[in-house]
Structure 1
């Protein structure tokens, strides 16, 4: 099985190189890893031990960020090293001020794992929610370096819990301690004889609650909204945007802000075709606007834009899965999303307290919109839910600080 895994990693690297010839994200993936160990050498002192945080992408970074910042504020002398797998995380956070170095994670090979650990000299490693790499985990284990999974969540249909998942279970066996989001995850790990587990919840709650307390202000967006009720559509994809276009046409007394997941020119142009009277954020002035729809064609704004909304639509539910519902809920606004939310405990929880609705069609979107437009307490329930789930970061740092 290890031979098959190694072959898959090599094949993946080859495919990405081919795609990099015509795909910008793949190009960033490949170019960012060129001379990676030289880049690390230039920024990281291998004599000093470091705390290594790895994130798959931007969402996981925001999830693990409260712990990272808590460690840095408590232990300011600690050297922080961050790695990302995806360009969408690295390209946005490559200049993150609290890290001594931010890098792409080299592909998971025995030599890369050995070389990376020697280069950054971690005293602990923290992986957030996803990504289980055999060689990195094994190298940490053999070196006696504690490895923590935070905000972990497991489901019965994952390969770890299948009869043919012995290789994947071995990867989990290298983890020092799992901090999981719920009881189900703890029970599933117990079934495969992993007892080094604590239920600590999700560190994202700490992050979104903190962000909602002191969001960035955007005067042009505030003036765009004025005194008009506004729906914020975050991390949308084309399937979401087609439904939203119908909703916009049917509700001229509301304003809408669409922040798509991808902001390349071709995608923005497609949204403009759907909603011809929309204005782009890059062209927005600070004068009050009677335009109904604003398209956010910049990155890094969404988590603060929710402060201007009365309702939120979260994209991704007609694709691989919904994006972050908690950023919106933290501001005390109800959320609507598509049908693929089963991997997200918070989405299920928000539905159970009537602070969220899942929809499958334009008709259902209209019905959910009308319900939340008149439901005065749904947003309050959403905010109370977020605030009730904070505290994960303090629980985790109390446990891992024994290694400092």
Structure 2
């Protein structure tokens, strides 16, 4: 909902009824992932997208029906072998879409969630998308130290369920994760959906991930622009005030004049596993102190510009600082993919492509040469297990 938050907040402030359709489950190849949303106001205005066009018309109508009935619904859309022109995804994937009507002022969790998202406060919105009919659409909004809303004023089993949902949603918020969560009505985690369980879709809204570009060179300006395009909060840092100026980097969110390693030391509480560090200085007096610190931090990506000779010299110096081969192996150097890039803009595309591939688990090979899934992140295991669960859709009366 984050990408449509401004419109949703405007409707909410005006007291206008609307419906939000959210992708809560994906399998196979699908154009958009969990959390993608389409919202429709009572007067028919639509914002956002759930499928990039494949099923937008059908979802729009579901939203209109939900506004009229006041009832939420979970609907599944997939490709039809019998009728290739049937409503569905021609790419062969399956989307589970939860449609919820919203009347401002009637649900404390939704009201609080919309306010937190608009203000930039980290919040997790947990909604029941499958389970007992009385719980469908019930929600809690969870921050680091509080929660709003309730699943039910009644039985003790629901009180236990609410406590568990708040605890699990807060853990997902801390990790910045969005995905499904299955709990028994007694609050215990479950491996499978079924009778006596409730499936929650938990959407974590956290500040934009950070990209810190060290080195105020001509290539940096292009990397800043593409970093902003990818949705990062971008900072440029350089120790040379003549180069580190807002005039040279108008697209950057912040331009900092400081030694790179010293600035990084001040940012330890603002970086996490989504943070990207692009070291473009290719000057040992800047690079080595910076990388010696960076390679010890749990950031998502660290890349450094330079020739292969520079890289060899750099790794030798880093070993002398006490870094292990495992730590040094995290460094992407020379930075970027082999696209044959020459210009700053082409180099920025190369860097961005490597960042996306590293984040999403891509092979960096042309899609035309493979036969497997094109969305690698949807097939990962480990702590992403909850993201892969797909709730069973409830029957929808057309």
TM-score (norm 2): 0.31
Larger Rg: 2
Say which structure is richer in helix: 1
